[in-house]
Structure 1
Amino acid sequence: MNEIAGQAGQSAAQRLDFDRFRLRRFMEDMNEAGEVKIVDARTDLADVAAIVSANTQAVWFKNVGPEGHELAASVAGGRARLAKAFGVPERQLLAELMRRLEAKQPVVEVARAEAPCQQVVVTGDDIDVTSLPVHLQHGLDGAPYISSAIDFSIDPKSGWTNVGLRRLMLRSETETGVDLNAPSDLRVIYMEAAAAGKPVPIAYVIGSHPVDMIAATMSIPTDELSLMASLRDAPLPVVKCITNDIRVPADAEYVIEGWLDPHGYVEPEGPYGEYMGYYGGVKKNPVFHITAITHRSDALFQTISISGKHLARTDTSQLENLRTELNVWRALKMTVREPLAVYAPVAAAGAQNVRVQLRQRVPGEARSAIMAVLGACGVKNMFVVDPDIDIFNDEEMEWALGTRFQPAKDLIVVDNVRMSPLDPSLDGSRTGSKAGYDLTWPFGKGGMDTIIPAAPSYQGKTFPSIAAALKDGPKYFEELMAAVASRDGREIVRELAAMKAGRDAQGRWTAGE
């Protein structure tokens, strides 16, 4: 069970920084970095989705709806933003995530009076979730959705806090729908409770630092408050909810408390634009009953971007991307000697396709990597390349696919395996196919046709003459220019012709007869 530290004689305010990981502070930092579009004008909730979808930056609405709420959108909708949240360059993001997963940080419980997320408490007849700035995100959605809710629940078997990320569809002032169809720890907890006729206490946090959102996407067998503290690389302040015993981050913007109805999957929820870029239809799902809403006095609400053609701009693809890369890296480390880099392109929802760069040490390692990842992860298509290909560069990846791949021998297809049910290409099936693309050179292959041309650098030994250079051994033309410090080259052509110089099998010039 997670060990939650007490205050040891000091107040939480003295020991903990309640602003460092709050959403408002992150948005201020991103604004200074040029990653935020600020909308000062009063904005109708009906206009929010169009403004967000038209922007590649995060968007900060200062005056939304008749209540004049502040609303942050697409906070995690770019890899640069996630990298800044972790304080590292983009290409070091995965390495930093893995480092933090190994670091332990305490979870510190604070008094309610010290918890910013409970500066304002709304209970009883005053509860009205429809007064929050919740907007219609896609044209055919079943209702306005809270898309950024991080859920906190307790597994009664272990006592651990389970953390996830899911959507809430507005139903009334005190009820929402909640999607619990996808496999998850919360689904297991709920189904066991519902079978016994018991409600599931739960709390949803809205307005979170990207590090917390990444923690919510992870599925690691541990108390996930500790996981959140590890990813913050700092102590996590938590506070007990007002109407249940669940502990949530004390520095959150909003918390919605309540319980999941034990009557089961009985109410229609959806349609909704799903993370793969298409609609999910109407599903039967449980109902969430609200018992309290608490928030900071200057709270900043949050919505995340999801679905549509431009998935690379969405929060969901960026968050899926990092989780996929972590899972793939773990599978690779168990299988091959020297994986070098992993990238899951966000344009494919951050989870369907993955690129792997590795250095083969023995024959067959590329195929071993493919089999391990396709078996262990939810990846649909995997591309493996040699160290000379930059997996973050689409141009280089297309070149490798076009010039190092023979479908008859380099394509691995695995059929009748479990796939994401949200993949529309399954056409309703519960199983499908996965493919591995071996874009590496055959192990040990060399020769001129594997050398990548580049502009001459004119590096090499110097000699008093071309004849002296050739006497030293065969030379490429570039080496001959370097040998006599030629800045032209045509005079060397004339001299080689006069010498009747020869060529070897590699095309190098020789002294001839």
Structure 2
Amino acid sequence: MAFPDIQSFMRLLEDRGELLRVDTPVSADLEITELADRLVKKGGPALLFENVVGSEFPVVIGLMGTRERTALALGVTDLDDLAAKVRALIDLGGSGGLGGLLSNLPKLRDAMNLPPRRVKTGPAQEVVWRGDEVDLSKLPILKCWPLDGGPFVTLPLVITKDPETGERNMGMYRMQVMGKNTTGMHWQRHKTGTRHLEKAKRLGQRLEVAVAIGGDPALIYAATAPLPPIPGLDEFALAGYLRGQRYPVMKGVTVDLDVPANAEFILEGYVDPQEPWVTEGPFGDHTGFYTLPDLYPQFHVTAVTMRRRPVYPATIVGRPPMEDAYLIEASERLFLPAAQLVLPEIVDYHMPPAGVAHNLVVVSINKSYPGQAYKVANGLFGLGQMMFAKVIVVVDGGVPVNDFGAVWREVTQKAVPGRDTLTTRGPTDVLDHSSRGWGYGGKLVIDATTKRPEEVGSAVSSRDEQASDLAPEQFAPAVSADLPLFPGALAQTQTPDGYWTVALDKTQPGQARELATTFTAHPAAGGMRHLLIVDEQTNVHDLQDVWWTILNNIDPERDVWVEGGLLVWDGARKLPEEGFVREWPPKIVMDEAVVRRVDALWHLYGLPEQWR
């Protein structure tokens, strides 16, 4: 179903008990984050804060904070239905003749919903602030985490167009408020907004920008989707397809850009490519770590338009699982058919929350020849934003890719370290703090499929170590009670499926490699396949926490190697003395005073105790 706007979606959620109102005064400075974080991690409802200190506008958060709400927002019963919907559109075949054409009319009607529909006016322009009226401090923009550089717009739909071709783009790029009418514009080097700005600079022009806040759930999702470069397919078109009707757009009041007519707020203005860039950040990012300060363009707001009674929608990102995990899953489902067109042996794929999107991709395949796992992994590295993938694990077609424990059991059972692991290099997400360079680093492929005879004939060397010649079917892990001691090793555990995790308080260069040498030579290593070294803040008994830390903190080419027959993963922080020249960012942790405040006020929020 199509929602006219975000408030209609909110009403449906409230009717279903999936949205709760909080009328107690709350602060946009950390307090809303603490409440929203608790509820999203427990699968709780969305929240509407009706009394935000210092602002006349209410805040809604967590609208797509569960798999079920995300499916509802996108007009399907289950997110898996998105793949079927796209597959039906792709398969515009037919038997030919009039009968074949008539059989495809429903599909063609869906395809015709792609272009947006121009309207003259809309509710998003019922109120207009211009010039000196513009004051972003009047909006309830959140400061999400204690070390954030200021308030950030976290759910912006940033609209630009190519100065030469007129190609339209909408993306979701965080925006730090710098003043009453300026923000940062977090356009990373791989983003379309950056290309538009570079063209404007060459042409000696300002780049017009419009930022929609709100719209409807389909458009908010579309702004996050990694669209393939297909002519005529943009975010408005995708939203129209998901809604089943063309998306209503109108011209901005001060910019020559199409803006969603059903938005709650629209910020209009420009970025001047001749201006010096401004320092933006830190920001508690979707990786669960802070992105450190860096230079980005500045957005000048010349007008703000809005509804007469708007609601300010927001999200928070941080330590997973968060709301963005469900948007990522929606993209998985939506683009699975396209991936299968290029790589037909793919059965399914999944990007688990612990991998915060690009750090881990699990793909299952129907395997029919040796080396096919590597063929698929290399093919995925070449598909759009999949180029940012850090670790790809390939499993057999019958393995459920969204069963995190089952996947890692397959790895120990079917992937011999060194023989069935391969490192390479390529582009990385610029938010990856551990890569060897900014936007460039190592990658790892693990072939956890059933091996064919040609794939087990000889061990393949990895670095200076020979792979274990222990065949997967002979692997029988045994947990040892006699675990070694090591300076800085705070906690450790071994699991029956072959993983040995050690939390290391690292204070000296080379300490992790010394630990690996000591531990892999110990008799306790005999029943293990992997040695996972994590930082001192990691719970070694929590599988999700362990892999979240590991995947964030490794460059596979530098930090994953075979030693003593084990695959060692060095997920400890890297030191300048080890040649790591960038500053290592902290993990996101909420201020204890805020946590205590929320605990003390919980009875006033009117929220059930189960979400506390």
Instruction: Sort the TM-score into its range (normalised by shorter chain).
Output: 0.7 to 0.9
Cα distance change of structure 1 residues 40 and 94 upon mapping to structure 2, 3 Å threshold: farther
How many residues are treated as equivalent by the alignment? 423
Letter in 1 for 2:25: R
1:404 is the counterpart of 2:387: no
Q: Which digits, 9 at most, give the CA deviation of each residue in 1:404-447, with x for residues without a partner?
A: 22123221221x322112112215454221112222212499xx
Cα distance change of structure 1 residues 99 and 254 upon mapping to structure 2, 3 Å threshold: farther
Offset of residue 187 of structure 1: 0.6
Q: Which digits, 9 at most, give the CA deviation of each residue in 1:16-37, with x for residues without a partner?
A: x9x8241112222233444434
**Counterpart for residue 145 of structure 1:** 152
**Counterpart for residue 22 of structure 1:** 5
Offset of residue 190 of structure 1: 0.7
**Counterpart for residue 291 of structure 1:** 302
1:50 is the counterpart of 2:29: no
Q: Which runs of 4+ in 1 moved over 6 A?
A: none
Mapped contact 1:374–1:434 kept (Cα < 8 A): no
Q: Secondary structure at the match of 1:194?
A: helix
Structure 1 residues 169-184: aligned runs within 5 Å = 169-184=176-191
1:90 is the counterpart of 2:79: yes
Mapped contact 1:321–1:351 kept (Cα < 8 A): no
Aligned mates of 1:264, 1:33 — CA distance in 2: 49
Aligned mates of 1:408, 1:131 — CA distance in 2: 57
Letter in 1 for 2:11: E
Matching residue within 409, 424, 430 for 1:421: 430
**Counterpart for residue 395 of structure 1:** 405
- Unaligned 5+ segments in structure 2 are 91-109, 455-472, 475-612
Letter in 2 for 1:389: V
Mapped contact 2:162–2:199 kept (Cα < 8 A): no
Mapped contact 1:215–1:231 kept (Cα < 8 A): no
Q: Secondary structure at the match of 1:158?
A: coil
Offset of residue 328 of structure 1: 6.7
Cα distance change of structure 1 residues 182 and 25 upon mapping to structure 2, 3 Å threshold: farther
Mapped contact 1:40–1:62 kept (Cα < 8 A): yes
Mapped contact 2:82–2:334 kept (Cα < 8 A): no
Q: Which digits, 9 at most, give the CA deviation of each residue in 1:40-91, with x for residues without a partner?
A: 2222222212211222133221221233421111323333322222213133
Cα distance change of structure 1 residues 98 and 204 upon mapping to structure 2, 3 Å threshold: farther
Cα distance change of structure 1 residues 98 and 353 upon mapping to structure 2, 3 Å threshold: farther
Offset of residue 185 of structure 1: 1.2
Matching residue within 299, 302, 312 for 2:321: 312
Matching residue within 112, 115, 120 for 1:104: 112
Moved more, 357-366 or 382-391: 357-366
**Counterpart for residue 38 of structure 1:** 21
Letter in 1 for 2:374: R
**Counterpart for residue 200 of structure 2:** 193
Q: Secondary structure at the match of 1:152?
A: strand
Matching residue within 426, 431, 437 for 2:440: 431
TM-score by length of 1: 0.76
Aligned mates of 1:120, 1:347 — CA distance in 2: 42
Aligned-residue sequence identity (percent) comes to 26
Aligned mates of 1:424, 1:328 — CA distance in 2: 29
Letter in 2 for 1:91: D
Aligned mates of 1:38, 1:199 — CA distance in 2: 42
Mapped contact 2:332–2:349 kept (Cα < 8 A): no
Aligned mates of 2:275, 2:88 — CA distance in 1: 40
Mapped contact 1:151–1:164 kept (Cα < 8 A): yes
1:70 is the counterpart of 2:58: yes
Cα distance change of structure 1 residues 325 and 355 upon mapping to structure 2, 3 Å threshold: farther
Mapped contact 1:385–1:439 kept (Cα < 8 A): yes
Cα distance change of structure 1 residues 93 and 80 upon mapping to structure 2, 3 Å threshold: farther
Cα distance change of structure 1 residues 273 and 208 upon mapping to structure 2, 3 Å threshold: farther
Aligned mates of 1:419, 1:59 — CA distance in 2: 35
Letter in 1 for 2:133: D
Structure index of larger Rg: 1
Aligned CA-pair RMSD:
2.6
1:248 is the counterpart of 2:254: no
Cα distance change of structure 1 residues 326 and 237 upon mapping to structure 2, 3 Å threshold: closer
Offset of residue 354 of structure 1: 1.2
1:281 is the counterpart of 2:292: yes
1:136 is the counterpart of 2:147: no
Matching residue within 122, 127, 135 for 2:129: 122
Aligned mates of 1:360, 1:25 — CA distance in 2: 46
Cα distance change of structure 1 residues 227 and 314 upon mapping to structure 2, 3 Å threshold: closer
Letter in 2 for 1:109: R
- Unaligned 5+ segments in structure 1 are 1-16, 451-513
Cα distance change of structure 1 residues 421 and 329 upon mapping to structure 2, 3 Å threshold: farther
Q: Which digits, 9 at most, give the CA deviation of each residue in 1:133-164, with x for residues without a partner?
A: 11211111111111111011121222222111
Q: Which digits, 9 at most, give the CA deviation of each residue in 1:110-132, with x for residues without a partner?
A: 112xx111111221221111100
Q: Which digits, 9 at most, give the CA deviation of each residue in 1:259-302, with x for residues without a partner?
A: 11232442211111222121112222222111211111221111
Mapped contact 1:121–1:293 kept (Cα < 8 A): yes
